[in-house]
Amino acid sequence: MACPVCKHPIAICRDGQGAARDLRIKMTGHYCYFWDGMYIPCAIRHVLAAYIEHEEYEATRQNMKIWDPVMVTREGIQFEVKFECTETAIKIYGPGWNDLNDTYAVSPGYVIHIYMPPSVFTFFVDIERDGIVQVPLPYIAMEGLSIEKRQCIDECIYTRGQRLEYPEMKRMIKCAFSFSRLPCCIFVHKLSTCDVEGGYLRIPKRVIHQIENKTGPLQGEGTLLLLDGRHTQMESTFKKTHDDRMVIHGGFRAYANTMRLNVDDVVAICFETDDDTSTMKVWITIIA
């Protein structure tokens, strides 16, 4: 049976959890989680109602404008939601609420934590599943990018088996465009013992083909510049193998030590060719 007021099962309606500034609400089936919004369980509705009343009073007392509430996740993503308050129920709804559920792929069984700090209508939220705080879907990290940059990220080549979550994708995007407006190739790779301790980095032929499709054929061997986060340049050498792969060797060991690269680090390796000097620039950033 569902509560006719808050739409939650009776057990949750009567046994909501939460302190004065912390609400914990479980998404349960079709009673609680649906496109129109979510009702606050009856047992803890008074906590949110008292908070809203207090914040409205403070805003009025300080001659502040009352705006729609904003839910902020730990990643700093903001969602503007709406509250519908009556004498018997409180509902959270609106496009921002829908976006929050889409961004974190919320489904029945998830738990939403709502923290209410002493600030006007700003709520901090965590989305939890099986005790683990969830992160946004990876593609959310590309919001705000131009079409060219989105395409560049979409063409990123991954080491077999690698899959990035939102935090890693965000770091990769940040590093990809920190040195260049648009690198010709981005390669996400999990470092092996040969890479770090052997002193040479093997680049797959898929990466080389993508680079050559945009910049033209690479020489059989030559020099390139390895960059780090402080814009320091270190000269290195490379050579192409008979199967069209590339090996970066001379100077790579010193670069790995400078960057403090370790075995099993997941790194984003970005490639760019300088049109003026025809020099290949490579920068590596640890993302996980």
Residue 31: the pLDDT is 44
> Can you tell me the mean pLDDT for 235-244?
85
pLDDT, tens only, 92-135: 899 999 899 889 988 888 888 888 877 667 888 999 998 888 99
Question: Three-state SS for 121?
Answer: coil
Q: Shortest CA distance to 127 belongs to which of 146, 140, 118?
A: 140
d(CA 177, CA 168): 15
pTM for this model (two decimals): 0.75
Per-residue confidence band for 85, with pLDDT thresholds at 50, 70 and 90: confident
Residue 175: beta bridge partners? none
What domains can be seen in the chain, in order of their start residue? 10-133 (2.40.330.10), 138-286 (2.40.330.10)
User: Amino acid letter at 49?
Assistant: A
Question: What per-residue confidence (pLDDT) applies to 114?
Answer: 87
Which distant-in-sequence residues (6+ apart) come within 8 Å of 59 by Cβ? 65, 66, 120, 121
User: Of 92, 76, 127, 124, which Cα lies nearest the Cα of 106?
Assistant: 127
Structure confidence at residue 8 (pLDDT): 67
Percent of the chain at pLDDT > 70 equals 86
pLDDT of residue 21: 60
- Alpha-carbon distances of 208 from 21, 158, 213, 219, rounded to whole Å: 55, 13, 9, 11
Residue (of 243, 239, 258) closest to 200 by Cα position:
239
Tens digit of each residue's pLDDT (9 = 90 or more) over 175-234:
888 777 788 889 999 988 888 888 888 888 898 899 888 888 888 888 888 887 656 678
Q: Taking residues 245-257, report their average pLDDT.
A: 84
Q: Which of 26-35, 66-75, 135-144, 278-287 has the lowest mean pLDDT?
A: 26-35
Amino acid identity at 75: E
Mean pLDDT in residue range 24-52: 75
φ, ψ dihedrals at 58, nearest 5°: -65, -40
211 Cβ neighbours under 8 A, 6+ residues apart: 184, 185, 218, 271, 273
All residues at 6 or more sequence positions from 167 whose CB lies less than 8 Å from its CB, including other chains: 75, 135, 288
